[in-house]
A and B are shown apart, each in its own frame.
Chain A
């Protein structure tokens, strides 16, 4: 599979596709990432270009370290992640800021204002400031591609890693992009030993810190005249400073206003801001999340309005911007009250069987990041905590140590295969080392599912589709010192419950691996699977099956008259029905029916 490189053509690309294209055009040779919404498609798309190497790393820290290595070796390299991934990768990021680069090095972070698919709403621009790394911020797909190319040029020109920051509405919005031919990077491959640059012993680090400060000065000067820090003069009664997708909302809401559009979110210029402020009678800073630009503007002693008008929580849109600046409410029809439709585990999801069994145990469940976090929602409601990737095991251990004997056998950790390999392994090591007894349940569905089916070290396949060795999960757990490692089929809830009860009670660390493939995997979908149906005559409307929360099981409500007409007691409120279109044939529900009303549908 490869994407042809036309001489010049206009395509409709998402921000993520545009970044992948930009990296390809910039001659990037090595890219590494851990999937995370809204960043996942960057590497997925980049991996399809000819002549590039792209991989899924077990986590973002490794991804950045791989990219650093490639840069040291003189090729252009990229690491991509979602905003919270930067937290994981922060350690190498802060120090590669000191060493600088050889081949251009770009770290892409995709923030998620509004928390569409994240556990927090952090503003990654703070990292640029804290790590003293320049940050480019595109405002649409076209700029996403251009800024990616630019990022590599800046990286080499200023000997620095460069952040490229998007948000969900950049990464997952599509817009037109002009494709160009790839360029040959100016640097030649090869590692050139230079201890003063690459070996960050304190003595070298101290010297490099001074270099970083000089670099920042030069970048600040560059920012004054950088063509992507752009003043668009219009009506001088209103001047708006903005960046990223907020620029689009500003242009939509105030097409005539004067705008200072900041393309380099860090470091920020000074004279440019002063000139702009002097040219307008009212200055407003419009940005999503934290007052990054605003704090800078105000530190220059410039009077401006910002977060007292523009929301700090959630994402913006043209209406919010218009309303905030004019101060006038824009009347709009109130949303209609309708039954909510939160995301749910898929029909046939193996996680459902586990959580159904787990709920019966009435234990505290420390959770983690993945599809299974949805088990925290009703009707399963079988997860009590969720902090970050890998946190479940440490959280369970901490609870156990805090509660002492009162907590014995009452706390379990639940973590997916990919999340475990990302950052759960060290948590489990800690349980064993520090004489913990908690039970860890490892949900192995043979894929990184939440982000849309990405390979990981336990799946036996690489990002670019090559077969590879698998991490053996049971053997890994045993190697960490866990003596009791058991594998169960979560669709068999009776057996799963039995093993759960036994292991939770065990006063030693144990791991239960629930092994069954994600119901969305192509191999599973191709398999011939049964379809179940509810035999109407046998259903008493007890709702035992409904408690699974399977989207394929529907409730058909009755009036007393309808119940009688259907040959039921007048008191029966309804009956269950299985949608043949949705049923995945997982066989979780039939054993739940005491009346044996759920049977395999005969063709």
Chain B
């Protein structure tokens, strides 16, 4: 089944490569014949702050921004960032969250604690929550910077594109020397949420998987 249109909200921390990840995702949709728009913020937001990308695809897209409460898929590169933007998800929407923790400044300086109940609070937002350890997958590829493509790989399970579309996009948008590691990272991410795993994982509830 092909999804005709959808809204993907990506959230992460400046420096995690969310912009490049969303770029690849956009290209994959474009190469597959979709209209795509995406919007993000440069400048101030890049300096270790929260970074978001609104990505919308369909036969014809108008607004470059996703409305709160309407995203079909929230891809979060960090746990607290998932929670920060959870209100963007539509009822019944799907969340793919990297279990990695990056301390916000107030936590890093010991004034606040990193919230311990993030998974529970995320689960209260949707029963289609998929927590993945993208950092471990990236480290096993010996490339910590590939967390972003691991996440795209995992998220791809909930998007209406064939695997080849992403790999074609990766080849088209990255310098040649880093294509291979990113393709590996994408595949590693995709296998984190293999259809078999989606069926058996007690912490996740299936729906709309491909």
Contact = CB atoms under 8 A, between A and B. Distances in A.
A573 B106 contact: no
Contact of A341 (B13, B26, B43): B13
B103 A345 contact: no
A343 B49 contact: yes
A343 B44 contact: yes
A140 B62 CA distance: 9
B62 A248 contact: yes
A346 B13 CA distance: 12
Interface in B137-174: 144
Contact of B67 (A168, A251, A317, A333): A317
A371 B64 contact: no
Contact of A338 (B42, B49, B80): B80
Interface stretch (A86-94, A506-514, A548-556): A548-556
A439 interface: no
Q: Could you say which of B41, B50, B63 has the most chain A C-beta atoms within 10 Å of its C-beta?
A: B63
Contacts of B207: none
B69 interface: yes
Q: Is the interface of B mostly helix, strand, loop or mixed?
A: mixed
Interface string B105-148: 11111101111000001000100000000000000000010000
A340 B80 CA distance: 9
Interface in A166-180: 168-169, 172-176
A174 B36 contact: yes
Interface string B168-182: 000000000000000
Given A12-B26, A175-B64, A574-B110, A336 B86 contact: yes
A592 to B, nearest CB: 14
Contacts, number: 164
Contacts of A169: 39, 64-65
A22 interface: no
Chain B interface residue count: which class? 35 or more
Contact of A339 (B13, B40, B115): B115
Given A318-B63, A371-B47, A37 B42 contact: yes
Contacts of A173: 37-40, 64
B86 to A, nearest CB: 6
A43 interface: no
Contacts of B26: 12, 174
A38 interface: yes
A336 B87 contact: yes
Interface string A99-131: 000000000000000001100000000000000
Given A12-B30, A174-B36, A334-B87, A339 B107 contact: yes
B48 A338 contact: no
Contact of A116 (B43, B68, B105, B144): B43
B166 to A, nearest CB: 15
Contacts of A245: 64
A369 to B, nearest CB: 11
Nearest to B45: A343
Interface string A242-263: 0001001101100000000000
A344 to B, nearest CB: 4
Contact of B46 (A174, A332, A343): A343
Contacts of B62: 248-249, 251-252
A344 B68 contact: no
A140 B64 contact: yes
Contacts of B40: 172-173
B27 interface: yes
A555 B110 CA distance: 5
A288 B81 CA distance: 28
A248 B63 contact: yes
A341 B87 contact: no
Given A172-B40, A450-B43, A546-B108, A343 B30 contact: no
Interface in A285-331: 317-319, 330
Nearest to A253: B63
Contact of B109 (A38, A172, A555, A581): A555
B70 to A, nearest CB: 8
Given A338-B80, A339-B104, A339-B107, 19 more contacts: A10-B30, A116-B43, A173-B64, A174-B37, A174-B38, A252-B62, A318-B63, A319-B68, A332-B68, A333-B87, A333-B125, A335-B86, A338-B104, A340-B104, A341-B50, A343-B14, A343-B46, A344-B49, A543-B109
16 contacts: A37-B42, A38-B42, A168-B41, A172-B41, A248-B62, A249-B65, A318-B67, A334-B87, A336-B87, A339-B106, A341-B81, A546-B108, A554-B103, A555-B103, A555-B108, A573-B110
Interface of A: 10, 12, 37-38, 40, 116-117, 140, 168-169, 172-176, 245, 248-249, 251-252, 317-319, 330, 332-336, 338-346, 371, 374, 378-379, 450-452, 543, 546-547, 549, 551, 553-555, 557, 573-574, 581
Interface of B: 13-14, 26-27, 30, 35-50, 61-65, 67-69, 80-81, 83-87, 103-110, 112-115, 121, 125, 144
